[in-house]
Structure 1
């Protein structure tokens, strides 16, 4: 279907279903019609499953499920409000989305949905399950004609071509991995660095030859295979050495008596075969079989994607090396999340506008100018890896150029001569990469990409263009990007865009050298290292270097990064110097998303994408949350549409509230702690100790209701202690443990009967330091002096129900989600960042009383289920309806205290709510 036909179909579909829709009678007809008429699915009844069985405590049925694209559909009648909670058959109260989530949780892992669509015939709410607490993308039926593409996820798993390329490329990587391992075993010293470098070069050369014969770059298909088949295992090594020498020698400089089989190979150049002293081991039957059968005869290399294959190929490196370097490989989909808003969307739009020009002469002039523009753009990836970003960008530019050439193809023939019309060149692409093998892989991937696009151009102009010899490509430099001047690679007056996927290494995991890299970069105007530089992730160095280079230019940059640089105390450490020193601003961003790679041993990372620049940006600022894009006024360093603020560590709260402190660190070697399975035996052998034993809770014990105990011996007299020999044994063991520790720990040996801290308030609120991101609310709670909190929690002595109600509200949780740090993906609550900076409401006495009432309602609802842990109660799939309702009432009471009313953006949108809190924070800190 053309776009015009699809718009017309969407308009008719919307007209047909306007104002109608019965859940029982119309669901299947509605979705079949949508799939068939709007999205062109030929056999929709084979594409979508209706009434799919799911076993909860009882048998239930999913309204619609699309296996191919992992879409779960929860259909409601036209009069049902999609954000309201409705009573279920089991007595629970759930919104349609929560109902769909519950179904999803009971599906086998391989069937878990990527998307959930909740629909009432008049509106589609599209949820991205990578963002379990995110807001849906809303598509109204009345807007379907112009917004049908936003539902494309129901049919677009991946284009068939991309899917095939991916499958072929991954299979190619597996072959290379086997070949690599078999060759490695043949080296005399397989751990020698020079031997490994030789092996890397050998693998790259073999891959190029395998690709070149299948793509007919060498002249005829199977040319490489036919040559090797003439040799037995014993002579294979020598045959390859001779071939490599020939491929690096110009025909006029070759031995005139060279065997015809070798003389037929073309001159490759490009430096790929230049080094003749690489170490090549003797071959085995296994290696020959892999090379001649698996890799050559049984496999077609011409269909690989150079973008994907580069990453897969690089995965033949030692996994430990890859982990230490912080290297992760970006999928094509995620590359486009970077390059599309950075420049590609604009280039596509420009070409589309040119195509609409009706005057033939003007259109051709514009197309030529457009091609010239493409050929003058220059790109730098300062963490190039295997060249994914450079390769994919090159392919995209060449596809745009080929599209322009199709429109110009009638004027390419000039007399009897056909010019080489290609203007876009791999020479426009620059990179910096610290790993020598990755540098070679990146260059090879670009050569393969160049070959593939050349074939497409030849089809357009119906003429052959010589690909070989390769032009020497030295634009990718082997170096530490953080220790060099990027202008030595490409002058900034020639550069347009910086992009890439710098290494992900948290500040606590950095090597001594990596830490030194960061400390040498993050320096102020006086040459002094910023105090916060020691606690920022390694990727931050690339942000600094890019911001520094972009000064007084129109260069724009976008990087994939771990989301930690936009959360918690790192935000001020990473971003404030960039704003203050270089005047950067964020142009677009993708908020946190779960990111997978194409490489072997996939990396599962929580990432963000940030596009930023120093030059004035007149384009709208775009903020992406999953599949949803918003045009916003500003994007701050927390990736929120809010003022540019930096929330720093505060030792005391901004508002007049009780202070939050850390619980008690035992520092006892475990000797003052009594595990639940040893409690009875200990009491039996030392009954006098029972009155000195208290319940001990860390965050895990508190949330999961796990029993643990401790000896709390504060104020116990020496004579009483001496009456308890089992207790004295533990105290002595604690003393010995402390004496064997570091200097600060040794000081504690003078009080071996006590925890490091001895805070035991009569009443306090406990806030776990770490909690799962899957929970909408971090479950805090009230405890008394009979329970001791460890330092894995925060405690607030003398806190009231009012404080509990505000802390347990969604408005506080929204603030927490935006500014807290993360432990992997889990929330990492902080007293100095989250609690002390939180702008509390100026609540009236009546509003405080209301919040106290709703806070008590939460505690009462929890008490209805004494056998359930907080983990059970706050699981989104099992949360009791009474507790959910109590939280909703508390949320409304707290919103009212802030003056946020129904209808306000901050009432229904979490991001708008956080933006309002940040404005309040700004006002508090400026006064």
Structure 2
């Protein structure tokens, strides 16, 4: 369940008569617990409460108290041994009149009347897995308002189905935007009285809703007309009391959908909310969920939290403004110059959604401006930051409209905060009619026409670089401007999830070729943004998937960016992005800042640390702009070749479970030499046991003499012949064999193709010649133990994580990108012996915990002490070979590895050229 659905369920629960016996289960159901879970709790199978309550392990302990005993009951829950044993995160007590709860980790509490507990539902959102976005948890009003608007929206579409069509959807969305403004305006005195809009509808429309549509339409027409025009139009007195608003919000079609009695009731309930609490930081994203089916289903999934937005905006330009403010002190002239500079700054989000980045940028700049005015003795001075300096592009019309509305609301709230209610009201209406949020495809639109370049020589730059003629008005506006800062959170869309239109967008940005086919959609914004930076004074920073700085995308994308003369000015290394864990959606993100070469301090953020440096590589570590390119052979002389495991391509007929293998050999013991153990990544890590038929040509006759094996071979032949792939059809000639065979009769090192992001080490193991490694893993045949030591080191995993890319959020191993490119210094015999002993210690430590699987052993919270100690020794020995000590962190590891790679790749290239010349 998402936050809106939870709010609706909790509100419905509070409106029902209190049933003490049923309340705990209804409360848990409201947070998404399934009926099977509730049934186990009801029967006591999973309920170990010692206070006649309901205890859900790892979540909450609930007890219904006797009248007046809520506080005492809550205290009993807190000291209950059962609460502690079950590791409950919350306790809750109620008697139907009073409601009290506590978050045991943070010690935050809630105490309210029972009827009011839905106001605090955000407190309990961790019960539904919504834990990482504090703004989402704390914005109870925004979620409640969204919930109510969602109900109204759905109800209106029942009676006005045509308004849900593609043709009328813009009208519906525009209508909802008008309502939102009216609800805000009536609670903030913009309409000259509390609840004037809602009260007028309640009084002037019939309870059967027969004229609700007409009443609302009349109010909207009034807000679109100035005084003289109202008389001529016959606007009634009850509507004439509303001010002229327009500003584009009340222009255009005045159509209003038909209202049922239920829809009218929903409208009045929405008006009864306290809209002074609206938070434009998040409200845009919430309201967007009302109109977008996909957003409603995944509410919070792509909401960019304020802390993450500030990770972009602070180093992009806000930190510099604050530094200049500190330097200015109380000097009036310097403060005035800073204010003038700020008035000319433009913030541009070319994928603005509902405006979160623009709203936060505006509010932060208003705070700086307010401090300037305070120091200059002008605290009530009107802001010189025009909303038109906060520009955006959004593909969909409703988010674009909501973005503009969110900025209008933010401006009013800032005026109230810094200048006072009277001054804010005086300057608020009528709204500015100019529209500074453009609706369209950002990868197809000309950014210069939306945010023209600034300073002298504008026309020359635009004509020469973009072949974009600017009219005189654009040139004049641009020459008055200052810096432009591009920011945002463009759509992530992986290469395999893009629509044909999106693929076409990328093709145009990349200039054709094939490079774009394996790139994320967000790459288009980086490349187009880097070209835009050549024409403006300013910089750029985007939130994006970490894949733009990993794997093969790096060369495709960053070669084009660096061609524009850009460099990376700052970066946040990969961090987890999880907003709604109820459907386990998580993305690993980075933030990358781009700008022109300058003398400013560059640096890399990793969690809470910042490392200053002279240059940043496209892998987001200190270093030169060096790309890692695939290699078919190891660049390090001391390590062996990795190969992919054997591919069956058999329709599953050559593969057997443990029970199938046992059944076969019980009936036909002579087949024992035709069966080998099979392992891929899941078998390696999870201990799953599978087997395969491994039939050499000289054993085919004896294999065909076993009826079940003959049947399997026939089935493989049929499967391959039925394939549409010609290569698979060709393998039908040898149906007793795996299609592609790399197996060798020797000991080997098996390497996992993927690994959980939570593991500190890449899974690998030693196997004998009786195990066939499938194509779901990699293998080094005849590998040395010191190579195993290298494979399972933190140093190697840091390299894999940086250059190989990821499978969702999991680490992905690649032989050509991850192993063959891994830079290993020349190893002495002592180095190899030391690493071999470390590898043996790791393997022996594993053996002491047999039959625990690798997944069990390498769970970071349960890793055995002796195994962790063995790995620590291994890491220390290996890292001392590189720099004579342990590395401090992964950033330092990668900095050294890239430095070494650059030298070794150049040396390897020279050696290859000499070899080619020798053979010429």
Normalising to structure 2: TM-score of the pair?
0.78
Corresponding residue to 1:343 among 307, 317, 327: 317
Residue in 2 aligned with 1:392?
A: 360
Residue in 1 aligned with 2:798?
A: 814
Unaligned residue ranges in structure 1 (runs of 5+) = 1-45, 59-64, 71-107, 115-129, 131-156, 358-362, 413-419
Residue in 2 aligned with 1:199?
A: 172
Once the two structures are TM-superposed, the CA of residue 268 in structure 1 deviates from its matched residue by 1.1
Structure 1 residue 281 corresponds to structure 2 residue 265? no
Tell me which moved more, 207-216 or 713-722.
713-722
Residue in 2 aligned with 1:498?
A: 486
Q: Distance in 1 between matches of 2:611 and 2:552?
A: 26
Residue in 2 aligned with 1:540?
A: 523
Once the two structures are TM-superposed, the CA of residue 574 in structure 1 deviates from its matched residue by 1.8
Once the two structures are TM-superposed, the CA of residue 193 in structure 1 deviates from its matched residue by 0.9
Q: Distance in 2 between matches of 1:54 and 1:655?
A: 56
Q: Distance in 2 between matches of 1:620 and 1:786?
A: 57
Deviations 1:687-714 (CA, angstroms, capped at 9, x unpaired): 4433211111110111111111111123
Deviations 1:587-634 (CA, angstroms, capped at 9, x unpaired): 111111122459998963221111111x23322113211122222332
Q: Distance in 1 between matches of 2:167 and 2:263?
A: 21
Q: Distance in 2 between matches of 1:731 and 1:112?
A: 48
Structure 1 residue 619 corresponds to structure 2 residue 587? no
Contact kept? 1:172, 1:309, Cα under 8 Å: no
Question: What are the equivalent positions in structure 2 for 1:282-321 lying under 5 Å apart?
Answer: 282-293=258-269, 295-297=270-272, 299-320=273-294
Once the two structures are TM-superposed, the CA of residue 51 in structure 1 deviates from its matched residue by 15
Once the two structures are TM-superposed, the CA of residue 813 in structure 1 deviates from its matched residue by 2.2
Corresponding residue to 2:765 among 776, 781, 784: 781
Corresponding residue to 2:343 among 364, 375, 399: 375
Contact kept? 1:458, 1:464, Cα under 8 Å: no
Residue in 2 aligned with 1:646?
A: 627
Q: Distance in 2 between matches of 1:69 and 1:848?
A: 53
Question: What are the equivalent positions in structure 2 for 1:762-781 lying under 5 Å apart?
Answer: 762-781=746-765
- Relative to 1, partners in 2 of residues 1:699 and 1:315: Cα closer, same or farther, differing over 3 Å? same
Contact kept? 1:842, 1:897, Cα under 8 Å: no
Secondary structure in structure 1 of the residue aligned to 2:398? helix
Secondary structure in structure 2 of the residue aligned to 1:404? helix
Structure 1 residue 827 corresponds to structure 2 residue 807? no
Structure 1 residue 212 corresponds to structure 2 residue 185? yes
Contact kept? 1:571, 1:646, Cα under 8 Å: yes
Q: Distance in 2 between matches of 1:672 and 1:520?
A: 46
Q: Distance in 2 between matches of 1:56 and 1:799?
A: 47
Q: Distance in 2 between matches of 1:324 and 1:791?
A: 35
Q: Distance in 2 between matches of 1:750 and 1:512?
A: 38
Structure 1 residue 445 corresponds to structure 2 residue 383? no
Once the two structures are TM-superposed, the CA of residue 52 in structure 1 deviates from its matched residue by 12
Q: Distance in 2 between matches of 1:57 and 1:203?
A: 46
Residue in 1 aligned with 2:891?
A: 911
Secondary structure in structure 2 of the residue aligned to 1:517? helix
Residue in 2 aligned with 1:549?
A: 532
Residue in 2 aligned with 1:723?
A: 705
Structure 1 residue 680 corresponds to structure 2 residue 680? no
Once the two structures are TM-superposed, the CA of residue 384 in structure 1 deviates from its matched residue by 0.9
- Relative to 1, partners in 2 of residues 1:708 and 1:463: Cα closer, same or farther, differing over 3 Å? closer
Normalising to structure 1: TM-score of the pair?
0.78
Residue in 2 aligned with 1:133?
A: none
Secondary structure in structure 2 of the residue aligned to 1:316? helix
Question: What are the equivalent positions in structure 2 for 1:91-490 lying under 5 Å apart?
Answer: 166-189=139-162, 192-229=165-202, 230-232=204-206, 233-256=209-232, 257-276=234-253, 278=255, 280-293=256-269, 295-297=270-272, 299-320=273-294, 328-354=302-328, 356-357=329-330, 363-409=331-377, 421-459=382-420, 465-490=426-451
Once the two structures are TM-superposed, the CA of residue 66 in structure 1 deviates from its matched residue by 8.1
Structure 1 residue 664 corresponds to structure 2 residue 664? no
Deviations 1:137-167 (CA, angstroms, capped at 9, x unpaired): xxxxxxxxxxxxxxxxxxxx97xxx789722
Unaligned residue ranges in structure 2 (runs of 5+) = 1-74, 88-102, 109-124, 455-477, 908-920
Once the two structures are TM-superposed, the CA of residue 865 in structure 1 deviates from its matched residue by 2.0
Once the two structures are TM-superposed, the CA of residue 276 in structure 1 deviates from its matched residue by 1.5
- Relative to 1, partners in 2 of residues 1:50 and 1:591: Cα closer, same or farther, differing over 3 Å? farther
Contact kept? 1:329, 1:599, Cα under 8 Å: no
Contact kept? 1:851, 1:893, Cα under 8 Å: yes
Contact kept? 1:165, 1:305, Cα under 8 Å: no
- Relative to 1, partners in 2 of residues 1:742 and 1:191: Cα closer, same or farther, differing over 3 Å? farther
- Relative to 1, partners in 2 of residues 1:760 and 1:56: Cα closer, same or farther, differing over 3 Å? farther
Provide the aligned C-alpha RMSD in A.
3.2
Q: Distance in 1 between matches of 2:644 and 2:542?
A: 36
Q: Distance in 2 between matches of 1:599 and 1:721?
A: 50
Tell me which moved more, 855-864 or 697-706.
855-864
Moved over 4 A (4+): 49-58, 108-114, 162-165, 321-327, 409-412, 460-464, 596-603
Secondary structure in structure 2 of the residue aligned to 1:587? strand
Q: Distance in 2 between matches of 1:705 and 1:862?
A: 13
- Relative to 1, partners in 2 of residues 1:302 and 1:50: Cα closer, same or farther, differing over 3 Å? same
Contact kept? 1:386, 1:438, Cα under 8 Å: yes
Deviations 1:330-382 (CA, angstroms, capped at 9, x unpaired): 1111111111111111212222333x33xxxxx33333322222211112110
Q: Distance in 2 between matches of 1:860 and 1:388?
A: 54
Question: What are the equivalent positions in structure 2 for 1:808-887 lying under 5 Å apart?
Answer: 808-887=792-871
- Relative to 1, partners in 2 of residues 1:319 and 1:584: Cα closer, same or farther, differing over 3 Å? same
- Relative to 1, partners in 2 of residues 1:887 and 1:457: Cα closer, same or farther, differing over 3 Å? closer
Contact kept? 1:205, 1:272, Cα under 8 Å: yes
Q: Distance in 2 between matches of 1:590 and 1:260?
A: 58
Residue in 2 aligned with 1:33?
A: none
Contact kept? 2:301, 2:579, Cα under 8 Å: no
Structure 1 residue 746 corresponds to structure 2 residue 722? no
Deviations 1:563-599 (CA, angstroms, capped at 9, x unpaired): 11112222222212211x1121111111111224599
Once the two structures are TM-superposed, the CA of residue 463 in structure 1 deviates from its matched residue by 7.7
Deviations 1:93-112 (CA, angstroms, capped at 9, x unpaired): xxxxxxxxxxxxxxx98699
Once the two structures are TM-superposed, the CA of residue 552 in structure 1 deviates from its matched residue by 5.1
Structure 1 residue 628 corresponds to structure 2 residue 609? yes
Structure 1 residue 578 corresponds to structure 2 residue 561? yes
Secondary structure in structure 2 of the residue aligned to 1:753? coil
Secondary structure in structure 2 of the residue aligned to 1:379? strand
Residue in 2 aligned with 1:509?
A: 497
